[in-house]
Structure 1
Amino acid sequence: MSPQLEEGLRRSGPVHRQSTLQMNPPAGMSNLSVTRCFRVKRAVPEDTFRNCRNRAMSLPVNCWMVGDHRDVIIIDASGEPETIAAVVGDRRVTAVICTQGSHAHTAAAVDVAWTLCAPVLLHPADHALWEGVHNQDRYWRLEDGQRITVAGEQLHVVHTPAPTAGSVSLHFPNLKGLFTGDSLGPHCGPRAHRATPYPGSTFLSALPPDTCVYPGHGASFLLGEISSPTDRWVRHSA
């Protein structure tokens, strides 16, 4: 585990030894991007349709796998733990990161973390949401500005409090990749009502247009495809 992650998780309990699973990836997985053996894969388990409390939502929650052939992080562990574990295979899981605390985005987080011997990371502002789903199950604090290294690449945590107070986005500057959760798209559950932009909304305007956005629902897209990224970010937080 990297020093950056150890520092971010310094208040946690002991980490269990890494388990090894020998499984083949399930059908339906697509390799979305490859950069210097650094891969992004998306799992869209069928049962995430049932996890969504908003009937107007037609797209399941994306579960992203990010890393190389040795190390990986899991972003928004939704769906069946067995499906996620199969995609991970025999790689080491650095962390299971939740972009927000709602049921749809954390449904399998505890089971996946336990099976793969990895910590769950969540912004503490979503503690009430987490507790409503997972009761007293523990997670480790995710903070704005935190750095986490996976497979030799560093991700930056950005607090983007929409649609929930603890929502975060994960930015890989060197790879021009941004995982936004529900901050830029449809979501499950009520939105937080905000009359003014929050500090994280200015973050988008500084990113290059060829930044690849991996949202909480639907397919990835380039940031430049949005006519006004900051306006859209703010609009989805209102």
Structure 2
Amino acid sequence: MTARVERIVTEGQFCLDGGCWDVANNIWLVGDDSEVVIIDAAHDAQPILDAVAGRRVTAVICTHAHNDHVTVAPTLSAATGAPIHLHPADDVLWQQTHPGVEYRVLADGEVFEIAGTQLRVLHTPGHSPGSCCLHLADAGTVFSGDTLFEGGPGATGRSYSDYPTILASINDVLFALPDETVVHTGHGPDTTLGAERANVPAAP
């Protein structure tokens, strides 16, 4: 495999249901010296563009449409010429941040070819209806967005989220991958699927 994974961290606010909270977000680049995909587009475009460093961006993939994960998606798209990809079940959230801005449909099972490897889309609803993870099998890695963190499932206490659904997504979809799979999260440190099994209840 020639692709490598790079992380950028930006800070800003997550806003929903009338409240805002300070957050630090992980943005992930997957690619090589020539081309990359951007996973999530949080808060500030410049650090992301600095990390891209002139490489060809083939896609801006949004794991879900909460504002802190899509803040600068249109800016990145305009700067790089890369299309935005989002699962359409999150359109209601997307329209709250970027009304009328178009994106390409992100589909369960879709594969992105990048730098000699493949990123496969896994639809994992629960944190939001259109939440998706991205499996980079060659690297033994999954990008979990806000579906799974070190310590357990992502939050489900706000609009358009559902706790039983996120448990089903983690148990049925993510835990079908090998335990040694490294989880690159949307916030905070990495973990592994094996380490999180004890932190995720069975789906009801």
Give me the TM-score of the superposition, normalised by structure 2.
0.86
Residue 233 of structure 1 deviates from its aligned partner by 8.4
For residues 133 and 189 of structure 1, do their structure 2 counterparts lie closer, same or farther at Cα, with a shift above 3 Å needed?
A: farther
Give the alignment partner of residue 147 of structure 1, picking from 105, 108, 111. 111
Partner of 2:162 in structure 1? 193
Partner of 1:52 in structure 2? 14
After TM superposition, the structure 1 = structure 2 runs for residues 43-192 of structure 1, keeping only pairs within 5 Å, are 43-46=8-11, 48=12, 51-53=13-15, 59-185=23-149, 186=154, 190=158, 192=161
Higher Cα Rg, which structure? 1
Residue 178 of structure 1 deviates from its aligned partner by 0.1
Is structure 2 residue 3 aligned with structure 1 residue 38?
A: yes
Is structure 2 residue 168 aligned with structure 1 residue 206?
A: no
Does the Cα contact within 8 Å between 2:146 and 2:187 map onto a contact in 1? yes
Partner of 2:195 in structure 1? 225
Partners of 1:72 and 1:232 in 2: how far apart? 35
Residue 37 of structure 1 deviates from its aligned partner by 4.3
Is the partner of 2:188 in helix, strand or coil?
A: coil
C-alpha RMSD of the superposition: 2.5
The letter for the 2-side match of 1:181 is G
Please state which structure has a larger fraction of its residues in strand.
2
| Cα shift readout 1:29-85 (whole Å, capped 9, x = no counterpart) | xxxxxxx54221111123x2xx22378966511111111111111011112112211
The letter for the 2-side match of 1:215 is T
Residue 204 of structure 1 deviates from its aligned partner by 2.2
| Cα shift readout 1:197-227 (whole Å, capped 9, x = no counterpart) | 5466412222222211001100112222224
Aligned length: 196
Does the Cα contact within 8 Å between 1:178 and 1:214 map onto a contact in 2? yes
The letter for the 2-side match of 1:99 is T
Is the partner of 1:157 in helix, strand or coil?
A: strand
Residue 189 of structure 1 deviates from its aligned partner by 7.5
Is the partner of 1:78 in helix, strand or coil?
A: coil
Q: How many percent of aligned residue pairs carry the same amino acid?
A: 36
Structure 2: give runs of 5+ residues left out of the alignment. Answer: none
Partners of 2:44 and 2:194 in 1: how far apart? 34
